[in-house]
Structure 1
Amino acid sequence: MKGKKWYKDPEIAEKYEPKRFSGAGGSYINQTEKSCVKNALGEIKDQKILEIATGTGRFSLMLAEMGADVTACDISSPMLEIAQTKADKKGLTDTINFFKGDAEKLPFKDNTFDKVMAIRFMHLVDEPEKFLKEMARVSKNTVIFDTFNLQSFRILYNKILPMDSRLYSNEEIKELAEKTNLEITDKIDSFVIPFAIYRFTPDLLANTLKEIDYTILNKQTGKKLSSVTYWKLKKKKTKEEK
């Protein structure tokens, strides 16, 4: 997996959220991502949710506040320490179990969780089929993840990013779902304008940029140019279950 050493750096962990989600542009990224994840998850109150690659706990804390019983793993101890501190401050210690772990070999029995999710993760993996199979194994039914898209403006600056993110076409995701015995039930397209542009946009121009993004995305051609897609999949029934 790309970036293992990079994400484990304490300095990277400390700067992770301030670098990405501060200012008007960063706040818009954070709010929009959380909204897309909420829409993909649906009702989760009292459900057992596993989040893979939780990082500093942005989504795990949101899930706990929505009433879910959350288990969250990451490979980075510094990231997890920040996530745990945030959970403690919000009084969510009893509803989130953070642990250091590798998504290739999850320490859970089959069908342990109602839903399993991984956001900002699939662009880093070298063998997506292996990871997706493991996610599906421990889920009772639903798997959610996001991808950076091949037919988007992200391709223009992808090579200069620290981990050279993997980009996917819709066809690749369909093939991946088929190989892992999953069925796509929903997809949410977002962000025609790549994340990085929002991060460096002055606060006074952020609203204008958001309006442009929204206008393009809500046109048919705009959806094809979205830089991020959130995928919701479910397990196909076995012969015995049919």
Structure 2
Amino acid sequence: MSIKEPDQSVWNRFWQQKNDMDKVYPSSPSVLNTIKKNFKLEGLKVLEVGAGTGRDSAELARLGADVYVLDYAENSLKIVDAIRAKDNLYDNLKLVRGDAFKAPFPDCTFDLVFHQGLAEHFKDSLPLIKENYRILKHGGHCLCDVPQTVHPYTVIKHILIAMDKWFAGWEKQFTMPQLKKLMTDAGFECVYDYGDWMRPNLFYRIVREVGFKVGVELPKYPLQGSAYQKVKDKILDSLENNSLMHYTQLCIGVLGKKP
């Protein structure tokens, strides 16, 4: 099967269809939690690459970080701009349209670069991570979050890819050792890693998407606020750094430090 990386038109079409934030699930909470846990946000110079909806970037801006979002899909930046306008975040949330592999920033610009759902869309992800390395200050960090290999999502994804039904045309995945190697090959020291499960689960999300097609909208988070959900989330959160659990989780992430 030939590999065809998604181009700008694919992402513009995708974000045009996903512009209703009430229907779109945010990224793994572990991305934002990892940043909050490891950094003092006030005045931190941050870049999100391949911003998508930019919701994590908007939250970091609300908390005092100086945040830039970089994306080459116009419709993605329109979504982020709407959030920026709604919350009046113009002072510390900047939008930049450009190529992640040739970021329009000088060397050693940022304290933190992060992305989620980006590296898996390229046959060779190393040039992307090396570009992240270039624009980071010495002592700065890169957080890379990707889909994990051993998961039912991966099976479904590759069936749809084979049928030419996958939204992005093609996509890969990583085990934790593969992701750590990617980071170290780019020059980073891996200082923190995590994984997270799909919340709510994959089956519920599939049912919810089918519901949209027949005019039925199920709640985004069933049982939200219930004792069951709180206990379940507490247990899952306690296991996010367990190395064995990394082979069961939907997504994994590594925080790398530039020497």
Q: Which category describes the TM-score, using the shorter chain as reference length?
A: 0.7 to 0.9
Deviates more, 1:2-11 or 1:196-205: 196-205
Amino acid at match of 1:47: L
The question of 1:11 aligning with 2:16 is answered: yes
TM-score of the pair, normalised by structure 2? 0.76
Give the distance between the partners of 1:216 and 1:13, measured in 2 at CA.
28
Q: Which moved more, 1:33-42 or 1:139-148?
A: 33-42
Structure 2 SS opposite 1:71: strand
Distance 1:14 1:184, change over 3 A: same
Deviation at 1:33, TM superposition (A): 4.5
* Amino acid of the structure 1 residue aligned with 2:150: Q
Question: How far apart are the structure 1 equivalents of 2:117 and 2:230?
Answer: 21
The 2-side partners of 1:194 and 1:121 are apart by 22
Tell me if structure 2 keeps the 8 A contact 1:48–1:113. yes
Partner Cα separation in structure 1 for residue 29 and residue 181 of structure 2:
27
Q: Which residue of the partner structure matches residue 185 of structure 2?
A: 179
Distance 1:195 1:132 in 2: 30
Percent identity reads 21
Could you tell me which amino acid in structure 2 is paired with residue 156 of structure 1? V
CA distance in 1, matches of 2:86, 2:60: 16
For 1:111 and 1:195, how far apart are their aligned partners in 2?
39
Larger deviation, residues 1-10 vs 136-145 = 1-10
Matches within 5 A, 1:53-202: 53-140=50-137, 141-159=140-158, 160=160, 161-163=166-168, 164-191=170-197, 196-199=202-205, 200=207
Where structure 1 has 5 or more consecutive residues not aligned to the other structure, the ranges are 22-28, 237-242
Q: CA deviation at 1:126?
A: 2.2
Please give the alpha-carbon distance, in whole angstroms, between the structure 1 residues aligned to 2:83 and 2:176: 36
Q: Distance in 2 between matches of 1:179 and 1:34?
A: 22
> 8 Å contact 1:40–1:144 — kept in the other structure?
no
TM-score, normalization by structure 1: 0.81
> Given the alignment of the two structures, is residue 2 of structure 1 paired with residue 6 of structure 2, yes or no?
yes
Q: CA, structure 1 residues 13+68, in 2 after alignment: closer, same or farther (shift >3 Å)?
A: same
SS at match of 2:102: coil
8 Å CA contact 1:120–1:146 kept in 2: the answer is yes
RMSD: 2.8
Distance change (3 Å), C-alpha of 1:198 and 1:48: farther
CA distance in 1, matches of 2:231, 2:120: 27
SS of 1:189's equivalent in the other structure is strand
Distance, in Å, in 1 between the alignment partners of 2:244 and 2:31 is: 24
**In structure 1, how many angstroms separate the alpha carbons of the residues matched to 2:112 and 2:29?**
21
Query: Does structure 1 conserve the Cα–Cα contact (< 8 Å) formed by 2:113 and 2:136?
Result: yes
1:110-134 per-residue CA deviation (whole Å, 9 max, x = no partner) reads 1111111112211212221000000
Mapped partners of 1:3, 1:195: distance in 2:
29
Using the TM superposition, name which of 161-170 and 103-112 deviates more.
161-170
- Answering whether residue 221 of structure 2 is matched by residue 222 of structure 1, we say no
Aligned to 1:233: 256
The runs of 4+ residues in structure 1 deviating greater than 6 Å are none
Find the aligned partners of 1:47 and 1:188 in 2 and give their Cα distance: 22
Q: Do residues 49 (structure 1) and 46 (structure 2) align? A: yes
What 5-or-longer segments of structure 2 have no aligned partner?
Answer: 161-165, 209-217
Cα 1:11–1:93 change in 2 (3 A) is same
